[in-house]
């Protein structure tokens, strides 16, 4: 059911005439995780923003982005079907845990019972069965992180971007959550691009590593 590889063709980003991302051509196969490593401020997050379609106008960026045969370079972010995880879980504070998941579930799933079922199943997978009515603020950091990933997956993305999502978790949680994320990315057959400055993240991802220098 995979949509195909995430492909970058000659993507380059500069700001104020300074080159941030040198020409980058890359294909990430379904289920594969590629890591971009580099110090903070090297433009890793900007690269993800470009792929997700949310780059700031101050940057000059060019290059093609495609998933399988679908060119998404010019699409608005909401039409790209690219999931993104930040280092904060960013659960919407005004919605319940279930409300957060329902926000992500495509409107195409119309039947109320079916929607409820999908949400319950996602929660069960995150070992949070019965948490649908809870206030996200009452969950632990690890629980929130898992809900955030389930939210991303429920939107049925065709690729996954990870923007240092393990950064704020403590050591034990970090290991658990890494396994949780990579297992799901593989199971869903998602081409995944991880940016991090932590070599352990890259190792856990187990795929190719691309180094970015400070510009």
Partner 1 sequence: MGEAVHEVTVDRRGLLSWMPALTVGAFMLPIGAGLIGTLLPAFGYLPAIGGSEFGLDPWRRLFAYPGFATSVTVTLVTGVVTALLAVGIAFGFCAWAHDWRWFRRIGAWLAPILSTPHSAIAIGFAFLVAPSGWIARALSPWLTGWVLPPDIATVHDPRGLALVFGLLLKEVPYLVLMIVGALQQVPARQHLAIAHALGYSRAAAWIKVILPQIYPQIRLPVYAVIAFSLSVVDVALILGPSNPPPLAVLAVRWFTDADIQFYFPAAAAATLLLVLVIAVIAGWFALERVAMTTGRRWIARGGRRGVVAAGARAAAFGFGGLFVLSVLAIVGMGVWSFATEWRFPDAWPPALSLANWMRRLDGLAHPAWITFVVGVLATAIALALVLSCLENESRGRRRTGTGALWLLYVPLLVPQVAFLFGGQVLLVRANFDGTIVAVVWAHLIFVLPYLFLSLADPWRAFDPRYARTAASLGASPARVFWRIKLPILLRPVLIASAVAFAVSVGQYLATVFAGNGRVATLTTDAVTLAAGADRRVIGAYALAQAIFPLVAYIGAAVLPALLYARRRAIAGVS
Smallest distance, Å, CB 199 to partner 1? 25
Per-residue contact string for residues 154-193; x = within reach of partner 1 by CB under 8 A: -x-x------------------------------------
Q: Which helix (H) or strand (E) holds 84?
A: strand 82-85
The residue from 35, 143, 152, 196 that contacts partner 1 (CB under 8 A) is: 152
| Beta strands, E only, 91-214 | 159-163, 192-196, 209-211
Of 54-62, 118-126, 182-190, 194-202, the segment contacting partner 1 by CB under 8 A is 54-62
Please tell me the number of Cα atoms within 13 Å of 104 on its side-chain side. 26
Q: Does 40 bind partner 1 (CB under 8 A)?
A: no
- Please say which residue, 87 or 175, places its beta carbon nearer to partner 1: 87
- DSSP, collapsed to helix, strand or coil, labels residue 48 as helix
Instruction: Classify 29 in phi/psi space as left (phi over 0), alpha (psi -120 to 50) or beta.
Output: beta
- How far apart, in whole angstroms, are the C-alpha atoms of residue 176 and residue 166? 10
Among 2, 26, 88, 109, binds partner 1 (CB under 8 A): 88
Residues near partner 1 (CB under 8 A), total: 48
């Amino acid at each position: 059911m995979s949509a195909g590889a995430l492909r970058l063709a000659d993507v380059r980003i500069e700001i104020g005439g300074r080159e941030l991302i040198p020409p980058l051509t890359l294909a990430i196969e379904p289920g594969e995780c590629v890591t971009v490593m580099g110090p903070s401020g090297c433009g890793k997050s900007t690269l993800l923003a470009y792929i997700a379609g949310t780059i700031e106008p101050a940057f000059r960026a060019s290059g093609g982005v495609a998933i399988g045969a679908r060119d998404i370079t010019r699409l608005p972010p909401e039409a790209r079907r690219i999931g993104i995880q930040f280092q904060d879980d960013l659960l919407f504070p005004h919605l319940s845990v279930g409300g957060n998941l329902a926000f992500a579930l495509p409107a195409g799933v119309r039947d109320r019972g079916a929607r409820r079922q999908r949400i319950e199943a996602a929660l069960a997978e995150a070992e949070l069965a019965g948490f649908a009515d809870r206030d996200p603020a009452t969950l632990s950091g690890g629980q929130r992180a898992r809900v955030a990933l389930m939210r991303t997956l429920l939107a049925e993305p065709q690729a996954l971007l990870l923007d240092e999502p393990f950064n704020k978790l403590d050591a034990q949680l970090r290991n658990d959550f890494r396994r949780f994320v990579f297992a799901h990315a593989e199971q869903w057959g998602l081409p995944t691009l991880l940016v991090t400055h932590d070599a352990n993240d890259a190792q856990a991802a187990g795929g190719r590593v691309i180094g970015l220098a400070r510009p």
